[in-house]
């Protein structure tokens, strides 16, 4: 692809956004697994519409408050990313580990 034809592969969003099917950039500039599901937490102690749990294809889950900025990337675009791009896209805030699917 010619430089003038380059397209944006890193997409800013928020934790409660349309993340399914994308990978997220972590604060350490690594990538998560693919987002399988974003579940709004209606019974969260802070109240409804305040937090989401993002579930990844590796079985991990991360709870985020609404409004936390995230950067998503499609799996097909990962090979075109440089370490410098990932470092520049790394978020300052992140959610908290919410366990694994197989935790019971």
Q: Is 43 part of a structural domain of the chain? A: yes
Structure tokens at 49: 């519409």
Max Cα–Cα distance, the chain, nearest Å = 51
Kindly give the parts of the chain with pLDDT less than 70: 1-6, 101-104
Q: Is 92 part of a structural domain of the chain? A: no
Q: Is 103 part of a structural domain of the chain? A: no
Q: Is 101 part of a structural domain of the chain? A: no
CB 58 within 8 A of CB 3: no
Q: Is 72 part of a structural domain of the chain? A: yes
What pLDDT score does 90 carry? 96
CATH number at residue 64: 2.30.30
Q: Is 95 part of a structural domain of the chain? A: no
Range of the domain at 57: 7-87
**C-alpha angle 67/47/38, rounded to 5°?**
50
> Based on the structure, what is the number of domains in the chain?
1
Q: How far apart are CA 98 and CA 88, in angstroms?
A: 26
What pLDDT score does 8 carry? 84
Q: Is 53 part of a structural domain of the chain? A: yes
Q: Is 68 part of a structural domain of the chain? A: yes
Chain centroid to Cα 89, Å, comes to 12
What pLDDT score does 64 carry? 96
Residue listed under structure tokens 């937490």: 41
What pLDDT score does 101 carry? 62
């Amino acid at each position: 692809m010619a430089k003038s034809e380059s397209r944006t592969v890193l997409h800013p969003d928020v934790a409660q956004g349309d993340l399914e099917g994308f990978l997220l950039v972590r604060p350490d500039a690594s990538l998560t697994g693919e987002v399988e599901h974003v579940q709004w937490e209606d019974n969260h102690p802070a109240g409804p519409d305040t937090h989401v749990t993002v579930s990844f294809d590796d079985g991990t889950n991360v709870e985020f408050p609404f409004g936390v900025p995230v950067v998503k990337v499609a799996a097909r675009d990962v090979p075109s990313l440089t370490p410098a791009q990932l470092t520049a896209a790394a978020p300052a805030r992140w959610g908290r580990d919410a366990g694994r699917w197989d935790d019971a």
